[in-house]
């Protein structure tokens, strides 16, 4: 989740001086702290958006766990029905 110098700093776990320097940089440069914080938030919102993760989970449940999708979910995404049927026919 950390992109060095964009969303934070990546340092060796034993780099005490580097850690102190990174902490000092965000404490003394509010613009840097704000930029990195905003970039981190944008990354999280992009990678973990509710719609994206929910859609992936619905497909995973239909495809791998044999969960039959509710009709409303199929209406919104007809490919869910195909995955559920394929699992029913080919995996059981």
Span 68-83, mean pLDDT? 83
Whether 34 and 5 share a structural domain: yes
Whether 41 and 9 share a structural domain: yes
Domain count of the fold of the chain: 2
What does DSSP assign to residue 13?
T
- Give the residue numbers spanning the domain of 79: 50-90
Whether 67 and 44 share a structural domain: no
Whether 41 and 4 share a structural domain: yes
Q: Are 39 and 50 within 8 A, CB to CB?
A: no
Whether 40 and 64 share a structural domain: no
Does residue 4 have a pLDDT over 70? yes
Query: Looking at residue 89, what is its pLDDT?
Result: 64
Distance CA 76, CA 58 (A): 11
Q: Which residues contact 66 (CB under 8 A, 6 or more apart)?
A: 84, 87, 88, 91, 92
Residue 88 or residue 72, greater confidence: 72
Whether 23 and 65 share a structural domain: no
């Amino acid at each position: 989740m950390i992109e060095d110098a964009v969303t934070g700093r990546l340092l060796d776990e034993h780099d005490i001086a580097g850690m102190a320097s990174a902490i000092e940089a965000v404490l003394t440069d509010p613009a840097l702290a704000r930029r990195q914080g905003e970039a981190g938030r944008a990354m999280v919102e992009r990678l973990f958006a509710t719609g994206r993760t929910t859609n992936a989970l619905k497909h995973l449940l239909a495809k791998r766990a044999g969960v039959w999708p509710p009709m409303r979910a199929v209406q919104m995404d007809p490919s869910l029905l195909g995955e559920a049927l394929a699992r029913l026919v080919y995996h059981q």
